[in-house]
């Protein structure tokens, strides 16, 4: 995958970027069956599709049915086209530069429904805040842990999203997973949900998921709404929600808090380029307005190394990386 070319003049860099990007786009288009009617957008700025608001350019493929998603996945694998499945980009760093990487987005947009077993089924592109609002409007409880998480249901399954109030694993999810040549529902050990982790591979696309929720009785919904509002207020008071970030940077080590360790190492307010360790919450790396992906990665590495020196603990990131040729933190 290509990166930026700082030694090139602006006009030459732009011309090279256009030619190389179009070549990859042509390769993508030629790999897909002509009978497959899908939308492929030319290279887009991924900074507009991630909550961190930085990253390079890459084409986007929108998938609107499980049938076309399955065909596309099979064709991309057969032609060795690198791709990345993109939700709302809320837990993601995309490399800088022009990327030979196709981003896949689900455009299912189906309304939540209740299946014959009484589980609530959500499409993969359903935003978690909207899912929680739907649950309360329709008398369902059990998704309150998702309050304030900006991601999608598909991403929540892939990363076993959660907060201190719970995680999606608690809802005993089953997920419809598509991959090259396969379309089936998975649950339990096949999903392999653990702390901010699942057993799903990079080529697995979650199309929808069904959750075990509870029908509310009496004034339970109103009580749940009050608790959520109280939690969101506390979150707003203690986290830098007014600045671009991907949320928590590091997973909490057993029995401790990543934020506490980072703050104790004297790293609040530390900067690299346009990236900064938030003075409000040390486990948030924020984009002050001009951060590149390299700024963010360099700052994360610096923080991790400083915490290891200070406390003897190696923090594990909760963040996903896309478009890097190798592990950017190695």
Quick one: 190 exposed, middle or buried, by C-beta within 10 A (0-12, 13-18, 19+)?
A: middle
User: Which sequence positions are flagged as catalytic?
Assistant: 196, 248, 318
Q: Is 157 in contact with 173 (CB distance < 8 Å)?
A: yes
Alpha helices by DSSP H, listed for 60-167, are: 66-78, 128-137, 153-159
Distance CA 125, CA 132 (A): 14
Distance CA 107, CA 61 (A): 10
Which of 73, 67, 61, 74 shows the shortest CA–CA distance to 29?
61
Alpha helices by DSSP H, listed for the chain, are: 10-31, 66-78, 128-137, 153-159, 220-238, 258-264, 293-311
Which of 134, 131, 126 shows the shortest CA–CA distance to 206?
126
CA 134 to chain centre: 21
């Amino acid at each position: 995958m290509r990166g930026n070319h700082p030694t090139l003049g602006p006009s030459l860099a732009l011309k090279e970027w256009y030619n190389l990007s179009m070549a990859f786009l042509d390769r993508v288009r030629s790999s897909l069956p002509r009978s497959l009617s899908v939308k492929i957008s030319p290279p887009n700025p991924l900074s507009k599709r991630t909550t961190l608001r930085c990253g390079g350019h890459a084409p986007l493929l929108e998938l609107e049915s499980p049938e076309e998603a399955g065909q596309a996945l099979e064709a991309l694998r057969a032609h060795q086209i690198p791709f990345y499945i993109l939700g709302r980009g809320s837990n993601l760093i995309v490399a800088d530069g022009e990327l030979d990487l196709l981003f896949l987005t689900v455009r299912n947009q189906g309304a939540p429904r209740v299946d014959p077993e009484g589980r609530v089924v959500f499409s993969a592109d359903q935003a978690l805040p909207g899912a929680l609002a739907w649950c309360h409007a329709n008398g369902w409880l059990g998704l309150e842990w998702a309050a304030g998480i900006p991601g999608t249901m598909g991403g929540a399954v892939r990363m076993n999203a959660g907060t201190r109030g719970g995680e999606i694993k608690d809802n005993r999810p089953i997920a419809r997973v598509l991959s090259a040549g396969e379309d089936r529902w998975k649950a339990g050990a096949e999903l392999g949900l653990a702390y901010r982790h699942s057993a799903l591979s990079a080529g697995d696309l979650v199309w929808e998921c069904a959750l075990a929720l509870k029908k509310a009785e009496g004034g339970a919904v109103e009580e749940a709404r009050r608790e959520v509002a109280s939690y969101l207020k506390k979150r707003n008071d203690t986290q830098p929600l007014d600045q671009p970030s991907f949320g928590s940077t590091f997973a909490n080590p057993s029995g401790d808090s990543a934020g506490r360790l980072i703050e104790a190492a004297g790293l609040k307010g530390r900067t690299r380029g346009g990236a900064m360790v938030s003075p409000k919450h040390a486990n948030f790396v924020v984009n002050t307005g001009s951060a590149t992906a390299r700024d963010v990665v360099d700052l994360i590495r610096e923080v991790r190394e400083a915490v290891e020196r200070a406390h003897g603990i190696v923090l594990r990131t909760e963040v996903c990386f896309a478009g890097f040729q190798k592990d950017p933190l190695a």
